Amino acid sequence: MANIGFIGLGIMGRPMAGHLIAGGHKLFANSRSGTPQELLDQGAIACANGREVAQKAEIIVTMLPDTPDVEAVLFGRGGVAEGLTAGKIVVDMSSISPIETKEFAKKINALGCDYLDAPVSGGDVGAKAGTLTIMVGGPDAAFEKVKPIFELMGKNITLVGGNGDGQTTKVANQIIVALTIEAVGEALVFASKAGADPARVRQALMGGFASSRILEVHGERMIKRNFAPGFRVALHQKDLNLALQGARSLGVSLPNTATCQELYNAAVAAGGAAWDHSAMVRVLEKLANFEIGQK
């Protein structure tokens, strides 16, 4: 059993941290909004800042919204770097810039510690169930040491390559997810406006080649009008920004990713930054002047 630090206890981080406690580990926690009472009741120990977490834990996990948040928690005043001693491992499970991740890893390595970037896919459903997909970049030895901890939070765990490769994989994941949400939204708007029952259309499609996890989970959200997050529009918008920034630097064209980003931009402009990302369909409905299920 290990002493584990966990920083960032939001929609995703809270259940992930809970699985680590349930697995028998001692958890030192810190979050901008405070450590949730449910984790304290499970035995989590609240810490004042990242430095205190790093001083008390052997493995420090971060699960934060964006690149600047990770940078501040790791290297800001009272940050993780101030509490590290040689031999510890920093594991960033946020979804952030692959380029900045490589720089963060170099700084942590200079302190005699290993760094793993280990972003996840599966949303709040996967976080609660402990079935997240975890895409890891970093050294083999550190990965093998942390793998039993990953196995408490996820099921499909892959060491992709070196530092930054985990984040690159997550960006690729977010491209596929966004484009699939858009495709499911278009299909259900089309079918519903044509007069078909969208719930039955979805049921039929789930048995064919168009079946996907997005059609299963997010298609149901669209039909039932359940747009409480989940995974917020603003976070997916951020991830597609990373994709498009990376594409520009690589000289790669991502035309459909750009289209999905514009749809998310429109959702944010309509006040939907905190909607679930399946709410991209609301923008498609606005363009069609028709809502799924409307008679």
Active site residues: 170
HSE-CB at 190 with a 13 A cutoff on CA atoms is: 7
Are the C-beta atoms of residues 199 and 223 closer than 8 Å to each other?
A: yes
Are the C-beta atoms of residues 54 and 80 closer than 8 Å to each other?
A: yes
Q: How far apart are CA 52 and CA 31, in angstroms?
A: 12
CA distances from 217 to 122, 128, 151, 159, 184 (A): 11, 15, 23, 27, 11
Q: Scan for tokens 């996890």, then name that residue.
A: 213
Q: How far apart are CA 237 and CA 132, in angstroms?
A: 21
Q: How far apart are CA 68 and CA 241, in angstroms?
A: 14
Q: What is the DSSP string of 4-56?
A: EEEE--STTHHHHHHHHHHTT-EEEEE-TT---HHHHHHT-EE-SSHHHHHHH
